[in-house]
Amino acid sequence: MAKYFIAAVLLFKAIVIVANFYNDFDITWSNDHAKILDNGREIQLSLDKESGSAFQSKKEYLFGKYHMHIKLIPNNSAGTVTSFYLSSQGSNHDEIDFEFLGNISGEPYILHTNIYTDGFGNREQQFYLWFDPRATFHTYSVVWSPQLLILLVDNTPIRVFPNNEHLGVPYPNKQPMGVYSSVWDADNWATRGGLVKTDWSKAPFVASFRNFNVLQGSSNGTVQNISSCASTSTSNYTQTSGNQVTQCLNPTQQHRLRWVQKHCMIYNYCNDAKRFPQGFPPECRST
């Protein structure tokens, strides 16, 4: 995968959209389980035995860098899932997932990631985080360009998914996606494969979201100023130059990516030989 660390991501015109939850999102599930705070800069979603809750952006985007600050459900969160993801519409949808699988008190959350193209996913990677995501807000980001997908936690890359269409691997580059978040009950699978059930005596389970923003070429399905980072680039991951932002992985973040994948990754579909007895998918064999 090293060849992709120096690959181009994208030059975006520096249009930064800082969302307000009153103006830029719709609550799509259980209004009475969602609370907007701080003049629209923060929203809390709650889950109880009656219902969870969810919201989605009013706009859809094609390519960009997307940030959400999230503080996860504290204490016993077993059986719950808190999500932040991008998705298009329809049965052949594209989707880029952060899903946080709760656990009993004192045990770590699992960050479950997946990438769907044309309605097909099965590209799961899972991680333990190197901090307590319940104690305070942390930043979860998606960088999505025609060449590369990068998932980041506090600006540390944890996963890279290159465009391998030349190998016959579908890549999400045609469908604009909206931004979604939700809190819901998944005790049939979320914690130890469903062995640990939700303790409803601990409800309501509350997760908080704030400071969503987008660095985007446009919001109507177009992208501008596609270019590449030079292989000798030593720029920061986000380096402002005039009205453009260059996004690429520098040596420090290459090191951080390797560290996370070595020390924090607990599942990688590309290493699951039992799942692929006829051979791994081509994107796994190419890395």
Pairing mode of beta strands 95-101, 244-247: unpaired
CB atoms within 10 A of CB 64: 24
Tokens (6 digits) for 230: 């030079």
Residues 84-93: pLDDT tens digits? 999 999 989 9
User: Is 99 noted as a catalytic residue in this protein?
Assistant: yes
Q: For residue 238, which amino acid is it? A: T
User: Is 124 noted as a catalytic residue in this protein?
Assistant: no
Distances (CA, A) of 153 to 85, 242, 253, 274, 283: 14, 26, 12, 29, 23
Tokens (6 digits) for 19: 């969302």
Residue 2, domain member (yes or no)? no
Q: What is the mean pLDDT of residues 255-283?
A: 95
Evaluate the CA torsion angle 185, 190, 193, 199 in order and state its sign.
Answer: negative
In degrees and rounded to multiples of 5, residue 85 shows phi and psi of -155, 160
Range(s) of the domain holding residue 202: 21-219+245-284
Q: Which residue has the higher pLDDT, 223 or 143?
A: 143
Residue 27, domain member (yes or no)? yes
| Distance separating alpha carbons of residues 183 and 153, to the nearest angstrom | 19
Q: What is the mean pLDDT of residues 250-268?
A: 93
Split into its structural domains, the chain has a count of 1
Residue 80, domain member (yes or no)? yes
Burial tier of 179 (Cβ tally within 10 Å: 0-12, 13-18, 19+):
buried
Give the pLDDT confidence score for residue 15 in this predicted structure: 60
CB atoms within 10 A of CB 108: 17
pLDDT over 50 at 101, yes or no: yes
**Residue whose token pair is 């193209």:** 117
Q: What is the mean pLDDT of residues 142-165?
A: 93
Give the pLDDT confidence score for residue 216 in this predicted structure: 66
Q: pLDDT band for 238, please (50, 70, 90 cuts).
A: very low
- Full DSSP string of 85-112: EEE-SSTT--EEEEEEE--STTS--EEE
| Distance separating alpha carbons of residues 215 and 107, to the nearest angstrom | 35
DSSP 61: B
Give the pLDDT confidence score for residue 116 in this predicted structure: 97
Residue 7, domain member (yes or no)? no
| Distance separating alpha carbons of residues 205 and 49, to the nearest angstrom | 10
Residue 58, domain member (yes or no)? yes
Among 8-17, 25-34, 180-189, 202-211, the least confident range: 8-17
pLDDT over 90 at 60, yes or no: yes
Q: Which of 275, 269, 285 is nearest to 124 (CA)?
A: 269
What is the pTM (predicted TM-score) of this model?
0.86
CB 205 within 8 A of CB 80: yes
The active-site residue, picked from 60, 99, 107, 165, is 99
Residue 235, domain member (yes or no)? no
In degrees and rounded to multiples of 5, residue 279 shows phi and psi of 120, 150
| Distance separating alpha carbons of residues 173 and 226, to the nearest angstrom | 13
Q: What is the CATH number of the domain that holds 268?
A: 2.60.120.200
Among 42-46, 49-53, 130-134, 192-196, the least confident range: 192-196
Say whether 284 sits in a helix, a strand or coil: helix
Residue 31, domain member (yes or no)? yes
Residue 227, domain member (yes or no)? no
Give the pLDDT confidence score for residue 136 in this predicted structure: 97
Q: Which residue has the higher pLDDT, 147 or 135?
A: 135
pLDDT over 60 at 241, yes or no: no
Say whether 117 sits in a helix, a strand or coil: strand
Give the pLDDT confidence score for residue 182 in this predicted structure: 98
The active-site residue, picked from 50, 95, 124, 283, is 95
Residues 193-224: pLDDT tens digits? 888 899 999 999 999 999 999 986 544 443 33
